A and B are shown apart, each in its own frame.
Chain A
Amino acid sequence: MTTPQAVRRASPRARRTVTPPDPARSLLPDVEPVRLLAENGTPLPARADYPEPAAEVLRELYRRMVLGRRFDTQATALTKQGRLAVYPSSRGQEACQVGAVLAVRDTDWVFPTYRESTALVARGIDPVEVLTLLRGDWHCGYDPTEVRTAPQCTPLATQCVHAAGLAHGEAYQGRDTVALAFIGDGATSEGDFHEGINFAAVFKAPVVYFVQNNRYAISVPLSRQTAAPSLAYKGVGYGVPSEQVDGNDPVAVLAVLTRAVAHARAGKGPFLVEAHTYRMEPHTNADDASRYRDGAEVDAWRDRDPITRLETYLRARGVLDDAAVAEIAEQAESYAADLRTRMNEQPTVDPLSLFDHVYAEPTPQLIEQRELVRAELTAARAEEGDA
């Protein structure tokens, strides 16, 4: 037994020497989101932990953001013209979408959601292929193995587990691939987000989980998704380091993601990043955002536009000038014009192709059904011929 007196004598020293280090501290994000540019585009003090990307990288970031914005505007217009069945815009989230994609290699794998169309075109995927599903076709458009990008995922958060498995499988086979999994604020409430990040942590799989917190899950605000101080704090419970970043600061997003990807590639396991951003448009063209949010709120975020912010900064640094901005704008216009032309062509769809990829080889029942459809089509054509 220790006497109370002994405790009093021993305790000051014991407190200094015996207190174990807090294992959670290193996993926690900064209290404030990382920010390297102020909202008006002026640089903030440099941070040793998040070095600023090189000027030519920032110029490319700007270029792809401008192209991405133009693509998004064009896709929204095409939807109004009836060329797309539905379109979930990512306007206002270009810093996140493009910054994240620029942080990974072509040989890495990206796991997008349905809102990542801008990210996918920034990754270099043909925009017509990106819009294939939204156009109303039955497949994802691009070849995922060729562009190392999974099909855009609609079932929320389910891709988080795929990313863990893919990353583990790649490491298992001796490849240094990183998986970048996109997810939104609402989907962090889904079980698969937690299972994915937990699997990645347990197997030390090289995954970067990138949460774009755009403050709404269709109409439901963030306050109904979580009581956590921020979504980045969800990492600590799984032993996963995390960071939060100003999602409308393109320089900060790229810097934070670059570090997260390096962490994963170095074999240290997954990393969680939360970007604070805002969905400028409704959930999709079919949604009416005025029923659940205030115009003044949207206006306030319009003033934090990520493209304007980066342009102001790069002009001040002499990385961009009027001529460069005009040239990039022109590229964006011809990109959109090309997209418009190609999307205005009526796509050809073959009903018989519906049976081609259900299984590697169709079952006898599918062969029967295909013949039934073939007969229907032949009859319909014959009728057309008669008419």
Chain B
Amino acid sequence: MATTMAKALNTALADALAADDRVVVFGEDVGALGGVFRITDGLQGRFGEKRCFDTPLAEAGIVGFAVGLAMSGLRPVVEMQFDAFAYPAFEQIASHVAKLRNRTRGALSVPIVIRVPYAGGIGGVEHHCDSSEAYYAHTPGLKVVTPATVEDAYSLLREAIDDPDPVVFMEPKKLYFASAEAELPTRAEPFGRAVVRRPGRDATLVAYGPAVPVALEAAEAAREEGWDLEVVDVRTIVPFDDATITASVRRTGRCVVIQEAPGFAGVGAEIAARVQERCFHALHAPVLRVAGLDIPYPAPMLEHTHLPGVDRVLDAVARLQWDDQPDARWAAA
């Protein structure tokens, strides 16, 4: 049945609420409105105001409240309305959510899911399109997950709610309303497993979240150029699946990492470093990154300049030293 990612997420929340009385869903506008993206649509009506409720408009409060609820034995799922709106909660996330298990030697765990609609491509105004995954991925104690398919949206969210550790669940806004065939409920590969979305022989494209469809489109377009590209969807940034990515790159000998976030010090940089550490002798070219520009997320009229698109990916693939010549881009340096 054709389903959108938004509907899959909504179904996952409903199924989790139905399956476990300890699950509570809250945040800003998640009640009567059903969330600004309608991900919580109908949940308050079906499960009541005790289990799906609006809170004061204060993100640190929402996450800190979830910490306390988790300490009392509940399983809170909170919504940060937009990526950049989650920044006030960062202290709660970095200092408490991520560390409480460790500083209590496992006596207290905080199995919270923090849902963050993130990234751009939707013509959003400033502060509505940040790719904030690196902040969370850099914080030990958090799991960081981002689905790229409808099936994964359901499966990863259910697993996140079941997980004993806190999960920052990053939802690519531009994929919310893309539709695909999916039978729900479903369970896909577990946390810590990347998935080969498209097999190929010549080079590996590694992507996550909103960059996965770009990678798949680029791989399709590359066929015309004579390249057979493999696409790996990272799915769970933390825990990270070195094994699947390493195996793919060892097979193909070439790798391009694609992310929408600014490239500098990003998750893509980490992936590129890990691939080079593990695959150096299998590589025929340096691992390249295709990322967003190192600029604040631009205005809607200019976001296409910023977003890594198919052409930029194909340009990078072209620079993978197919003729065994050094990359001309760095010649002047």
Contacts and interface: CB of A to CB of B under 8 A. Distances in A.
| Chains A and B are bound partners | yes
B165 A359 contact: yes
Contact of A165 (B71, B88, B140, B240): B71
Contacts of A177: 72
Interface in B47-88: 50, 55-56, 58, 60-61, 63-74, 88
A113 B63 CA distance: 19
A161 B92 contact: yes
B104 interface: yes
A86 interface: no
Contact of B61 (A150, A161, A173, A358): A161
A164 interface: yes
B186 interface: no
Interface stretch (B95-103, B209-217, B219-227, B254-262): B95-103
Interface in A331-358: 356-358
B59 to A, nearest CB: 9
B109 interface: yes
Interface residues of A, number: 42
Interface in B162-203: 163-165, 192
Given A161-B92, A364-B192, A167 B68 contact: yes
A139 B73 CA distance: 21
A170 B56 contact: no
Contact of A364 (B50, B164, B239): B239
A143 interface: yes
B56 A199 contact: yes
Contacts of A161: 60-61, 63-65, 67-68, 92
Given A172-B50, A365-B239, A360 B73 contact: no
Contact of A363 (B69, B91, B240): B240
A201 B209 CA distance: 38
A114 to B, nearest CB: 13
Interface residues on B, range: 35 or more
A192 B91 CA distance: 10
Contacts of B103: 138-140, 151
A144 B110 CA distance: 13
Nearest to A360: B164
B192 A158 contact: no
A155 interface: yes
B88 to A, nearest CB: 7
Contact of A199 (B65, B100, B109): B65
18 contacts: A139-B102, A155-B96, A158-B91, A160-B64, A161-B61, A161-B67, A165-B65, A169-B70, A169-B74, A172-B74, A177-B72, A191-B88, A192-B64, A195-B64, A198-B58, A199-B65, A360-B163, A360-B165
Interface of B: 24, 50, 55-56, 58, 60-61, 63-74, 88, 91-92, 95-96, 100-109, 140-141, 143, 163-165, 192, 238-243
Given A162-B96, A359-B143, 18 more contacts: A138-B103, A139-B103, A144-B104, A151-B100, A158-B95, A161-B61, A162-B71, A169-B74, A191-B58, A192-B64, A195-B64, A202-B56, A356-B106, A358-B101, A358-B140, A359-B101, A363-B192, A363-B239
